[in-house]
Structure 1
């Protein structure tokens, strides 16, 4: 019975979020903020994580085509040696996105944290999520449940993701329980910090990045 429920929930979330997912940058309307969901840059054993690369490429594409004004990079900052937001910022800067257009969210530990914090902490209500399609669906499901006006730019998904897709089905069940049963909030919320106030502090962010490079 539980397996049937998981499959039905998976299908329902895909169906519910389909109208808000775009695959072509030309088709997506402008949003002030693009939320880039974090993941590890490298895979185990070495090499660049294609999921990561495609999200960065998608974010650069949206910014340079004028579809977003700012990029909020949200990810895990659990260790000094593992910092998804700073890693993403470095690569966005290398790709030509100006420092003034990048904001870091160090507390995007889960998709739920990233989406709700974008709204409640960074004061963004109309934003574009940037990630792979299967992840778009869960992120949008969370956004819609919170009354957030969001859409998603789906970047290419690597081949052979059967195991990841199974994990995603379980993650969707977990998200449903978090929202509708457990009423979970992000691990950290805190005061509202509008995007523009974060941009004003961009110099301090660069100082932190320089320290990590030492």
Structure 2
């Protein structure tokens, strides 16, 4: 009987510890999410008429196809938004920043091909093959491409994080929101985004820098 009571006590203590740990993790995640959202709420735009002009639009990379072979709507909608912003006259150049680490995987080139289909001139498209993470894309836009103010182009949740990073690195940026993907299709992405927002604060605390820097590449 004594052993059974002792086991119950141990289980109760472990359950309490687990609950407290989960609660603390939840508070941290929520706090990071709210801080980033609140910072960016006045810096994101859905309408080309309202958004201020900038020389460069930073188009954040993603893959055109999902693992199941379907088209990636995040990709399609970002291309659509970048083309709309350029044709509205609110940007003069499109800097595409994405991943090119693996053979047969080249986000910037795929996005460039898609933009050309929208009749965006080749001469205004600039490629950054070392945008391995949002942090890399944002910081490299200044350190490599010489832009200390620009317009970020992605879905709103992604823009918010990019703008927060930009602000913390002394960059003046606004965001143009691409159409979002419905909640069901984008559920996994939203979960990853919550964790990515926590990673933002870890990166800032550790003064994380882009994996690759290098020689300046000026945009005319």
TM superposition score normalised by structure 1: 0.89
> What is residue 194 of structure 2 aligned with on the other side?
169
Gaps of 5+ in 2: 1-23
Distance of 1:88 and 1:166 partners within structure 2:
25
State the 4+ residue runs in structure 1 displaced beyond 6 angstroms.
Answer: none
Q: Which residue of 2 aligns with 1:60?
A: 83
In 2, the alpha carbon distance for the partners of 1:79 and 1:12 equals 34
1:49 counterpart = 2:72 = yes
The match for 1:195 is 219
2: CA distance, partners of 1:149 / 1:93: 28
- Highest CA radius of gyration, 1 or 2? 2
- Where do 5+ consecutive residues of structure 1 fail to align? 197-214
Superposed counterparts of 1:91-106, under 5 Å: 91-106=114-129
In the aligned structure 2, how far is the partner of 1:45 from the partner of 1:12?
34
Aligned runs of 1:29-178 on 2, under 5 Å?
29-159=52-182, 160=184, 161-178=186-203
Mapped to 2, the partners of 1:87 and 1:188 lie a distance apart of: 21
Name 2:208's counterpart in structure 1.
184
Count, aligned residues:
195
Equivalent of 2:51 in 28, 38, 63: 28
Determine helix, strand or coil for the equivalent of 1:71: strand
**How big is the shift at 1:133?**
0.5
User: How far apart, CA to CA, are the structure 2 residues paired with 1:113 and 1:103?
Assistant: 16
- Aligned-partner Cα distance in 1 for 2:70–2:25: 37
> What is the root-mean-square deviation in Å for CA atoms of aligned residues?
0.9
1:43-87 deviation per Cα after TM superposition (whole angstroms, max 9, x unaligned): 122121000000000000011110100000000001230000011
Aligned to 1:199: none
Distance in 1 between residues matched to 2:181 and 2:53, nearest whole Å:
27
Normalization by structure 2: what TM-score? 0.87
